[in-house]
């Protein structure tokens, strides 16, 4: 398989946001640790390893093909890179299995967690789009799979299963909520009628249906008419929002003092979850009219970015995937108060 091309979005800005957490000296010595929770082809990880010489990276991906390709790309960095086959809501288990959970060990300046950074670059990877047989791309006819774990070991439904078994109401929900498709109900009804004649197997039949159901004026704006439906199916098949809801608090909780979580989101629902998770841990629980803040009552985190940062026009021109990116970052500023209801399982 040829290595797919991949241009990481906002690469320089992402590394700049992570650098303060990764370039510092750790209490007790040793390398700082970044968890790249969405390794893909390893573009962000390669930049971190090249520019932050004190850092090691643990790269997580549910796709073994991506892990293999990234592993070859990052082999020159030796044991500074470790690849792990997992989903990113398994961060606590991955960190513990690698012996990186420093809680209670006295290192990391008395911090709660054991890693110095966590990076999420959400959505489908370029590699998955570029490999036709995975079924993510609408430009070629391919089996309607869309499972990010290419082995199928997850046991979850394929995109064909969703199309052939979901009710019209369920399909409408998926297309409307995950694809923000204004013709969701019309498309769902057509899918149900079409499968009564022949089940959906490959992408060509679905693309043909979408061209027929989406009115011509709408097809001429907003990109390819299949874009929103394919996005919605991918998010449903991989349960992406539920995984993210579990992963964000786990990533936040894993941080040592001075550590940062950086997230690139491309979908409004994903970005909303990120914003909510970050606001929850940076918001003061004290009444705003208190004359002073008692010591130890400050939030344990601070927002690093002001709102969501976007890509500039030049990057969007060079890399169209950057058009919808929303970048946010948060930093742990002190150990958490164990009595704070925002900590631990209260996040989940």
The answer to whether residue 3 sits within a structural domain is no
What pTM was estimated for this model as a whole? 0.85
- Do both 40 and 98 map to the same domain? yes
pLDDT tens by residue, 204-226: 999 999 999 999 888 777 678 88
The answer to whether position 1 is within a domain reads no
Span 276-298, pLDDT tens digits: 999 999 987 666 656 555 666 67
Whether 174 and 120 share a structural domain = no
Is 295 a domain residue? Answer: yes
User: In this structure, are 63 and 200 located in the same domain?
Assistant: no
Q: What is the rounded CA–CA span in Å between residue 66 and residue 274?
A: 25
CATH code for the domain in which residue 187 is found: 1.10.150.170
Structural domains counted in the chain = 2
Q: What is the pLDDT of residue 38?
A: 95
Q: Out of 237, 260, 292, pick the residue that ends a domain.
A: 237
Domain assignment present for 6:
no
Residue 40 lies in a domain: yes
Which pLDDT does position 18 carry in this prediction? 98
One domain for residues 180 and 212: yes
For the domain that residue 106 is a member of, what is the CATH number? 3.40.50.150
Residue 23 counted as domain residue: yes
Nearest to 261 by CA among 18, 64, 40: 18
Pair (223, 198) in one structural domain: yes
Residue that finishes a domain, picked among 237, 261, 292: 237
Q: ∠79-83-89 over CA atoms, to 5°?
A: 135
Q: What is the pLDDT of residue 175?
A: 97
Per-residue pLDDT of the chain (348 residues; tens, 9 = 90+): 444 456 799 999 999 999 999 999 887 778 999 999 999 999 999 999 999 999 999 999 988 888 999 999 999 999 999 999 999 999 999 999 999 876 544 334 444 568 999 999 997 655 444 454 444 566 678 889 888 876 555 567 999 999 999 999 999 999 999 999 999 999 999 999 999 999 999 999 999 999 999 998 887 776 788 889 999 999 999 999 999 999 999 999 999 999 999 999 999 999 999 999 999 999 876 666 565 556 666 789 999 999 999 999 999 998 888 899 999 999 999 987 655 555 544 333
Do residues 228 and 275 both lie within one domain?
Answer: no
Show which of 203, 237, 271 is a domain's final residue. 237
Same domain, 233 and 248: no
State residue 288's pLDDT score: 63
What pLDDT, on a 0 to 100 scale, did the predictor assign at position 213?
Answer: 94
Give which of 120, 126, 179, 124 is closest to 328, Cα–Cα.
Answer: 120
pLDDT of residue 321: 82
Residue 37 has phi, psi (to 5 degrees) of -75, -15
Same domain, 122 and 246: yes
Q: SS3 helix, strand, coil % of the chain, rounded to 5?
A: 45, 15, 40
Please report the pLDDT score of residue 132 as a whole number.
47
Query: Using CA atoms, how far apart are residues 227 and 233, in angstroms rounded to an integer?
Result: 10
Clarify whether residues 231 and 249 are in a common domain. no
At residue 101, the pLDDT reads 77
Report yes or no on 206 lying in a domain: yes
Does residue 338 share a domain with residue 252? yes
* Domain co-membership, 24 together with 63: yes
Per the DSSP assignment, residues forming a β-bridge with 32 are: 55
Quote the domain boundaries for residue 206: 149-237
Task: Judge whether 179 lies within some domain.
Answer: yes
How far, in Å, CA of 337 to CA of 340, rounded? 5
Is residue 336 located within the same domain as residue 282? yes
């Amino acid at each position: 398989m040829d290595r797919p091309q991949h241009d990481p979005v906002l690469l320089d800005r992402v590394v700049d946001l992570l650098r303060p957490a990764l370039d510092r000296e750790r209490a007790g010595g040793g390398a700082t640790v970044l968890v790249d929770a969405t390794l893909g082809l390893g573009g962000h990880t390669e930049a971190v390893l090249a520019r932050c010489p004190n850092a090691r990276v643990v790269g997580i991906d549910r796709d073994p093909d991506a892990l293999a390709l990234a592993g070859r790309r990052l082999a020159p960095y030796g044991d500074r890179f470790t690849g792990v086959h997992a989903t990113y809501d398994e961060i606590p288990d991955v960190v513990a299995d690698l012996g990186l959970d420093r809680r209670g060990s006295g290192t990391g300046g008395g911090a709660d967690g054991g890693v110095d950074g966590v990076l999420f670059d959400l959505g489908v990877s370029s590699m998955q789009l570029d490999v036709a047989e995975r079924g993510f791309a609408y430009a070629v006819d391919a089996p309607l799979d869309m499972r990010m774990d290419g082995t199928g070991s997850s046991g979850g439904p394929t995109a064909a299963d969703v199309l052939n078994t979901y009710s019209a109401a369920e399909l409408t929900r998926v297309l409307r909520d995950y694809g923000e498709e204004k013709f969701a109900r019309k498309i769902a009804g057509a899918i149900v009628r079409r499968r009564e004649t022949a089940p959906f197997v490959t992408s060509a039949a679905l693309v043909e249906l979408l061209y027929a159901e989406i009115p011509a004026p709408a097809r001429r704006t907003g990109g390819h008419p299949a874009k929103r439906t394919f996005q919605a199916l991918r998010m449903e098949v991989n349960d992406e929002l539920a995984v993210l809801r579990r992963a964000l608090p786990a990533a936040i909780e894993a941080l040592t003092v001075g550590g940062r979580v950086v997230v690139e989101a491309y979908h409004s629902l994903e970005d909303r979850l990120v914003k909510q998770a970050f606001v929850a841990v940076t918001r003061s629980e004290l009444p705003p009219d208190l004359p002073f803040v008692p010591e130890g009552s400050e939030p344990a985190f601070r927002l690093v970015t002001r709102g969501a940062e976007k890509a500039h026009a030049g990057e969007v021109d060079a890399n169209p995937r950057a058009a919808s990116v929303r970048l946010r970052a948060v930093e742990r500023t002190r150990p958490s108060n164990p009595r704070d209801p925002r900590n631990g399982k209260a996040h989940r």
